[in-house]
A and B are shown apart, each in its own frame.
Chain A
Amino acid sequence: MERAEIESKLVDLLVDELGLERDDITMEARFEEDLEVDSLGVVELLMALEDNFDVKIPDDEAEGITTVGQAVDVVSAKLGA
């Protein structure tokens, strides 16, 4: 899967699963500070990523994800994109 494809799928997930505004989502946006996603929301996002991209994200990697771009990085690395 191409990185651009992962990005667009991730944005869809953020809109559909977490109810975020599409226009607010940039790769630099921080989940908690900029997008007002609470800590449980970040966990929800991780579960959605695991289900939709069929990857496993261990806790130590999950802790490093604070921005949208970092989430794309982690999924990309798993999928070799």
Chain B
Amino acid sequence: MSRVALVTGASRGIGRSIAVLLAARGHHVAVNYRTNAGAATEVVEAIEGTGGEALAVQADVSDADQVTAMFAAVEEHLGAVEVLINNAGVTRDGLLLRMQPEAWDEVLATDLRSAYLCSRAALRAMVKARWGRIVSIGSVSGVAGNAGQANYAAAKAGLIGFSKSLAKEVGSRGITVNVVAPGFIETDLTASLAATSAERLLENISLGRFGRPEEIASVVGYLASDEAGYITGQTIVVDGGLAL
């Protein structure tokens, strides 16, 4: 069944893969981006090139007014959002003793506040429709903790508690709310790692390699499907065995 999906932070990395996969399954996909219009357009063109339907929508998802405007634009062009993927996120790593309040606030706003704002905006129509899927992209850092990422881990762990609570609030309306928590995935974020630190990281990954964005997208795609209708409030860790 074809649905309207919105993926935040979808111009590259994991978000891009999720947008492409949902479109390949026949969904109409809104590709949200904050600054990189060129990359978002390229994602839309890639989707349209394979016969899918997509729309690029600019918004800073940590800003309430911009989120409202984004949902209005998506509803006008594609219809009400039925599948929401809270993927947008940033990192501002550093040891806590040296972490400035700005680095804390920016990560909490982009990685956690955004999920609150977008979920609230999406729920109106989902509750009415008695069907909806919300999947937020967490992180293994939010499950196991990670030195140098207290802000990021707090935000990602926050998504887990948020999703469990929301799952209880809206379960009676056929809406499921889940988290997919990736480990190290080959994206721009991990490409910047020095070769030596990459090798050290790999030693702790049971599968002996970094994951691919498509391997996160496939789990998100499943949770967004009708088939996954009895799974809610869960966190699925997709990390190659890193957190074992």
Chain A residues packing against B (C-beta within 8 Å): 17, 38, 40, 44, 47
Contact = CB atoms under 8 A, between A and B. Distances in A.
Main secondary structure of the interface of B (DSSP, over half): helix
B128 A40 contact: no
A40 B170 contact: yes
Interface string B100-140: 00000000000000000000000010011000000000000
A47 B124 CA distance: 8
Interface in B165-186: 169-170, 172-173
A40 B123 CA distance: 11
Interface residues of B, number: 7
Nearest 5 CB-CB pairs, A to B?
A: A44-B127, A40-B169, A47-B124, A38-B172, A40-B172
A2 to B, nearest CB: 28
A65 to B, nearest CB: 18
Nearest to A43: B127
A17 B124 CA distance: 13
B71 to A, nearest CB: 14
B128 A44 contact: yes
A44 B175 CA distance: 14
